[in-house]
């Protein structure tokens, strides 16, 4: 075990990975754009709130500031290459939808773009944008949920059916093992 005190920035900030990245889909200024965000989390059940941490350096940030809604999609391990590509280019320089020939699914509860190929997705009405250090936490109220019924065993993801995408940092990807232990009362 090693310890080091942190005065400014840590040497790396990958200790809380692996984590599941979402792909944010947003439309504003006449542009549809997608970017992966591994800094994402559920924030509340009632009302259902979900947040994404986005750096102001991202093209997506400006779009999220203007838009009143956005989408997030969850993709399987098999789509790691696409997620990586979406996170390696900026919508400022290239129209990713055209460049990668992306299929866009339109939201049903809200007029938001969703990247096709997901096993689950949220349609989010923007409720807050909180500055947190060098990122902004965009909070959305869940207004629509898509889920592949084959992917979910009851209310949880079935890891035999879907290999969830895990991000380790430094552009490394993996997936969880298929074993699941059910502990505790149902
Ligand atoms: C797997 C993965 C996860 C990422 N997570 C985040 C994140 O949570 N927040 C963030 O601001 N950038 C994150 N990034 C970086 C952006 O996705 C990347 O800079 C992207 O090119 C921004 O696109 P845009 O300029 O079109 O918005 C991530 C990149 C990858 C590959």
Q: Is 16 helix (H, G, I), strand (E, B) or coil?
A: coil
Average of per-residue pLDDT across 79-101: 98
Residue 184: inside a domain, yes or no? no
Count the Cβ atoms, other than its own, within 10 Å of residue 180: 13
Cβ pair 121, 151 in contact under 8 A: no
Looking at residue 151, which CATH number applies to its domain?
Answer: 2.30.110.10
Predicted confidence band at 12 (pLDDT cuts at 50, 70, 90)?
A: very high
> Given a cut of 90, is residue 56 above it in pLDDT?
yes
Instruction: Indicate the top mutation candidate among 17, 22, 24, 35 to test ligand 1's pocket, ranked by most ligand atoms within 8 A of CB.
Output: 35
Burial of 112 (0-12, 13-18, 19+ CB in 10 A): buried
Residue 126: inside a domain, yes or no? yes
Beta-bridge partner residues of 58: none
Residue 99: inside a domain, yes or no? yes
| Distances 116 to 36, 119, 120, 138, 160 between C-alpha atoms, Å | 14, 9, 10, 22, 21
For the chain, the average pLDDT equals 97
| Residue 185, pLDDT score | 76
Residue 107: inside a domain, yes or no? yes
Atom of ligand 1 nearest to the CA of 34: 26
| Residue 10, pLDDT score | 94
Residue of 165, 160, 161, 137 lying closest to 148 (CA atoms): 161
Structural domain for 107, as ranges: 22-173
33 lines ligand 1 (CB under 6 A): yes
Q: How far is the centre of ligand 1, averaged over its atoms, from the C-alpha of 153 (Å)?
A: 30
**Count of domains in the chain?**
1
Residue 81: inside a domain, yes or no? yes
Residue 2: inside a domain, yes or no? no
Q: What tokens appear for 20 in the block?
A: 């599941």
> Given a cut of 90, is residue 6 above it in pLDDT?
yes
Helices (H), the chain: 59-66, 80-86, 96-99
């Amino acid at each position: 075990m090693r310890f080091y005190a942190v005065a400014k920035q840590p040497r790396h900030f990958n200790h809380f990975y692996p984590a599941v990245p979402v792909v944010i889909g947003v439309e504003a200024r006449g542009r549809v754009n997608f970017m992966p965000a591994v800094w994402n989390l559920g924030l509340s059940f009632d009302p259902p709130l979900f947040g994404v941490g986005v750096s102001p350096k991202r093209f997506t940030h400006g779009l999220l500031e203007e838009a009143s809604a956005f989408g997030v999609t969850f993709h399987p391990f098999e789509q790691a290459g696409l997620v990586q590509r979406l996170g390696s280019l900026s919508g400022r320089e290239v129209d990713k939808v055209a460049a990668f020939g992306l299929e866009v699914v339109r939201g049903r509860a809200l007029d938001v773009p969703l990247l096709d190929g997901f096993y689950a997705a949220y349609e989010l009405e923007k409720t807050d944008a909180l500055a947190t250090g060098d990122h902004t936490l965009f909070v959305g109220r869940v207004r629509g949920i898509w889920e592949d019924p084959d992917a979910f065993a009851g209310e949880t993801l079935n890891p035999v059916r879907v290999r969830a995408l895990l991000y380790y940092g430094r552009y490394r990807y993996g997936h969880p093992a298929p074993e699941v232990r059910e502990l505790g009362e149902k």
